[in-house]
Amino acid sequence: MIDEKLKYRAKLTKKLDTFSGRYMSNTKWSKLFKVLSQNHELIGKCLIKDVWDNVLREIRIPRIDGYSVVFNEKGINDTMTGGPTSFKEIQWIEFPSKWTVNRPMGQQILESFTYYQDISEISNKIAGIGELEIELSPEKLIVYGYK
């Protein structure tokens, strides 16, 4: 077990060395997710990108009273996303301003439904955390861990 942990840490360190910029610590990620949980009603969709692949996975932001069920001081307890379990593995999180959901019903496809979230308001809420590396466009808000 110790060998596996050492191998994992070495592999992670090697992967992280490929990025030119490092912007988040465990403390900052923890503060960020706490602020998001305190304002969970603003969050319709949050996607998480880890350092290992190019897949964006959806992660549910809990209400603040459920924060410790999903997150801890070093990472994510709820690994149902299939994504990163430690904050060090998060390359970025992304909030789309709008997304569409297809609605199949048997053989029939119902009209798609489009959802919206106010990414400017989300950006305002997280601004108090400290200096964050963000990208804000009309389409999405991204908070970077690494670039």
Please indicate, yes or no, if residue 3 is contained in any of the structural domains: no
Q: Which residues of the chain, if any, have pLDDT below 70?
A: 1, 78-84
The number of folded domains in the chain is 1
| pTM, entire model | 0.88
Within the chain, residue ranges assigned H as helices are 2-16, 26-38, 67-70, 119-126
pLDDT for the residue numbered 84: 61
pLDDT for the residue numbered 81: 57
pLDDT for the residue numbered 29: 96
Which domain, by its residues, includes 92? 20-144
Please indicate, yes or no, if residue 6 is contained in any of the structural domains: no
Q: Residue 80, SS3?
A: helix
Please indicate, yes or no, if residue 96 is contained in any of the structural domains: yes
